[in-house]
Structure 1
């Protein structure tokens, strides 16, 4: 699947100039999220998932470019029917003296699946019917039906293996205040062949959670080698900050970037009123305020270019010009105001940051054109519209629809859509499954409880000389490759 890469406008050259002295440590500033989004929003520090993936790997993991590569499993096969995945793991002794075995790994995965019940991850794992150790080194995972993106799901940090107090690596973890310090574990301690000169060839990776403005300032002063975790809210800091001494790197991830209708009040109390808001947003103009080109805007929940999805579907309101959409929305607002005897108004909740300021100004202009007064929710206040900004775990339509399951997103959901997604799990063929999922998306879109804008925006800043970083489709940047460890 091809995706358009984000690019700054030509007037902004992203050249790297400064190279700091190699002190054997890759210092990373991980931007604290500007707002709580999704079920992982309560994380205790920024970059939790990256640190988790480095210190507690699973059967497979992502490499720097986002490909699934071996981790605890040294190899695997998939049966012809696509319903059974068989993994052969590498056995070794853990630091606490226990042995990493197929039985222990299978038990850990089963426990993780049980713990995920009631979350969107649990819904993503709904096709898993059995996880069992076949021998001391072989594990089988069985599915109800084929899932082409299953290995992408299995590579998620949340599916890392936890066995007593033993870290399964590939990195060890220590705390130094708020900083997470990670060292690549020598291969002989991971059941692999010894590598001479390991300590000389590898680098320590130190991850510190930092506010966006502080991260940009510290990077420009040479205190950090990288900034990770950048989002739309903080993007202007990268544009105006340390360009002379670093390079801004933009991912092109798939996921959700739009507004959930958290409070169905006033003009937002009906599907027609919510459609008036959704139809009038000039998505391209909004993101142009951030000096981005090539951004993929959308009016749909599931991207049309996902493998095996989107045939016969198209963007909503694609036959209408922007002026026609504005006229339609303005008429709907006037009708609502005449029926209710009051002006249409609502609040928008956005993360703090200069990027959010620019987005809000554009949205306010769009709403004023059709007679809606909007204000920005102050910190601590629940807005009528709340930004939903999440990257996908895997390239499957079910991930997108699971984010709006009534079990994990009460109020911004549809029981009818949930029913169709459930039917898709038992579909007799991939074509039937895709049909159920497309119908579920259509059902959910009709509620207008989620107003899509486009693809998530993710940026990093990487100083010249840092190895092991690459843009990828998940906007997930593993720490192990940054250590320069060859295996």
Structure 2
């Protein structure tokens, strides 16, 4: 079955034809709890982790507000900050805080918010998100209800970054909502917290306008089956690893929605030793992959392979970096790659055998089967291992947090991904962060991309895919560019 993927990141809705049939919602009472399945495991409830799992990000965002948050469409909306202004030079963001209290009853004020924001930023040191926030120079208290964030260089995506779940601001380890969570095993009940219990004015009819969520944390395979059986109305968290589940006959009654995301899907070098010590031998692996064949095996119309690290759709690309090896056929690329493998073996080394850390879902198995055949064509064998086991490569499937070249470069920076990284690329990216002239900044970013690409520490294959199952009639859900879906909009009772 061929699926059609809406490729533009601006697309609002992407549906898989042939899998759409209007069904009534499971619950007859629209104010009853909405049953939701969230792909994940026990780590979903480790919401305070510095690197939370995707499911934990969803639960953290629902229960721990930051200065701002996301709506269903992925747009930035007020949260603890009720409004903000940006200075003309783009170097200061001034936030006015809403009236309200923390969970312990103390008022939400600028000193406590600024302190929480500083702690959240410090906890991200050494991570890619920490690098994204590097232009923040100072977080200042201006008045009792005004916080100013000063930058060393313009950061147009600061609001998007501050809306990330990791930038939620807890008080004494408790979040300020907007949802409260009660957990029993891998099942959680999330209920909207009344405004008066958050230190805000009461709202007439609040209890009639919202409903709780009954969230089951489970594998996407189980989530898909429960959706098909009519036991849940929404299943969130589908990835490439679970994508083949959307093609089963069982799901012919469901609504499968794809998010218009950017990001990285490919192989990351974890161990730049042995065969992988040389950038040219790492490039041999990149040369061997039949990207069109791999993405074609999934049957997603409009989904195409790429040899680039940075998405060509980012607004700060100067257009000077294109696809690699566009003047060579696949056979020519593989012939060159095979020569490098044979030269390695001629030096007395055995045939390369590489361990690839990857999930064991149907999508990952399909992708690795194609990659394994491609590598075998040049004399390299691979073996799948579980995450956490010793590995040479890892199958990466990560969605961009914001749509700029810096996100891609920060993911592959030496502090974050040291094996096969480019110190020269890092230096150029750092220089770009401080460059205020837009054209000069784009030129530096292009140079950085070339340097990181030449290091071959990451082998791009395609953009990521994110999908969900949503029953007809469910409101509060919309495909968005970030690939995860806030829970609070789902609590609003449809009119």
TM-score (norm: length of structure 1): 0.91
- Note if contact 1:9-1:291 (Cα within 8 Å) is conserved in structure 2: no
- Residues 78/278 of structure 1: CA separation in 2 closer, same or farther (3 Å cut): same
Is 1:3 aligned with 2:45? no
Which consecutive residues of structure 1, in runs of 5 or more, have no partner in the other structure?
Answer: none
Is 1:47 aligned with 2:55? yes
TM superposition shift of 1:330 = 2.6
Is 1:261 aligned with 2:238? no
Name the count of aligned residue pairs.
483
- Note if contact 2:42-2:186 (Cα within 8 Å) is conserved in structure 1: no
Is 1:14 aligned with 2:34? no
Instruction: Pick from 81, 84, 99 the counterpart of residue 76 of structure 1.
Output: 84
- Residues 409/163 of structure 1: CA separation in 2 closer, same or farther (3 Å cut): same
Aligned residue number for residue 188 of structure 2? 180
TM superposition shift of 1:412 = 3.9
Is 1:240 aligned with 2:248? yes
2 CA distance for matches of 1:464 and 1:58? 31
- Residues 22/94 of structure 1: CA separation in 2 closer, same or farther (3 Å cut): farther
1 CA distance for matches of 2:43 and 2:168? 26
Is 1:392 aligned with 2:400? yes
Aligned residue number for residue 273 of structure 1? 281
TM superposition shift of 1:235 = 0.9
Deviations 1:126-183 (A, max 9, x none): 1001111211221111101111111111111111111235532211222222223211
TM superposition shift of 1:102 = 1.9
Is 1:445 aligned with 2:453? yes
2 CA distance for matches of 1:112 and 1:348? 33
- Residues 51/297 of structure 1: CA separation in 2 closer, same or farther (3 Å cut): same
- Note if contact 2:405-2:445 (Cα within 8 Å) is conserved in structure 1: yes
- Note if contact 1:34-1:352 (Cα within 8 Å) is conserved in structure 2: no
- Note if contact 1:54-1:171 (Cα within 8 Å) is conserved in structure 2: yes
- Residues 228/326 of structure 1: CA separation in 2 closer, same or farther (3 Å cut): same
- Note if contact 2:153-2:433 (Cα within 8 Å) is conserved in structure 1: yes
- Note if contact 1:18-1:246 (Cα within 8 Å) is conserved in structure 2: no
2 CA distance for matches of 1:40 and 1:245? 37
1 CA distance for matches of 2:42 and 2:207? 37
Deviations 1:394-447 (A, max 9, x none): 122222111222222232422222222222232242322222222222111111
Is 1:66 aligned with 2:77? no
TM superposition shift of 1:192 = 5.2
TM superposition shift of 1:193 = 5.0
Instruction: Pick from 305, 318, 338 the counterpart of residue 346 of structure 2.
Output: 338
- Residues 243/94 of structure 1: CA separation in 2 closer, same or farther (3 Å cut): same
The SS at the match of 1:475 is coil
1 CA distance for matches of 2:321 and 2:43? 33
2 CA distance for matches of 1:424 and 1:353? 39
The SS at the match of 1:111 is helix
Deviations 1:303-350 (A, max 9, x none): 122012242111111222223222322333333333335323323222
Is 1:308 aligned with 2:320? no
TM superposition shift of 1:3 = 2.8
- Note if contact 1:4-1:296 (Cα within 8 Å) is conserved in structure 2: no
- Residues 48/213 of structure 1: CA separation in 2 closer, same or farther (3 Å cut): same
The SS at the match of 1:440 is helix
Is 1:359 aligned with 2:367? yes
- Note if contact 1:203-1:483 (Cα within 8 Å) is conserved in structure 2: yes
Which consecutive residues of structure 2, in runs of 5 or more, have no partner in the other structure?
Answer: 1-6
1 CA distance for matches of 2:420 and 2:289? 20
2 CA distance for matches of 1:326 and 1:306? 30
Aligned residue number for residue 437 of structure 2? 429
- Note if contact 1:34-1:353 (Cα within 8 Å) is conserved in structure 2: no
- Residues 40/264 of structure 1: CA separation in 2 closer, same or farther (3 Å cut): farther
Aligned residue number for residue 215 of structure 1? 223
Aligned residue number for residue 161 of structure 1? 169
- Note if contact 1:31-1:209 (Cα within 8 Å) is conserved in structure 2: yes
Aligned residue number for residue 252 of structure 1? 260
2 CA distance for matches of 1:45 and 1:199? 31
Larger mean Cα displacement after TM superposition, 298-307 or 399-408? 399-408
- Residues 482/129 of structure 1: CA separation in 2 closer, same or farther (3 Å cut): same
Instruction: Pick from 401, 415, 419 the counterpart of residue 407 of structure 1.
Output: 415
TM superposition shift of 1:376 = 2.7
Instruction: Pick from 78, 100, 105 the counterpart of residue 108 of structure 2.
Output: 100
Instruction: Pick from 318, 331, 352 the counterpart of residue 323 of structure 1.
Output: 331
TM superposition shift of 1:204 = 0.6
2 CA distance for matches of 1:378 and 1:296? 27
Root mean square deviation, CA, Å:
2.8
Larger mean Cα displacement after TM superposition, 322-331 or 67-76? 322-331
TM superposition shift of 1:190 = 4.3
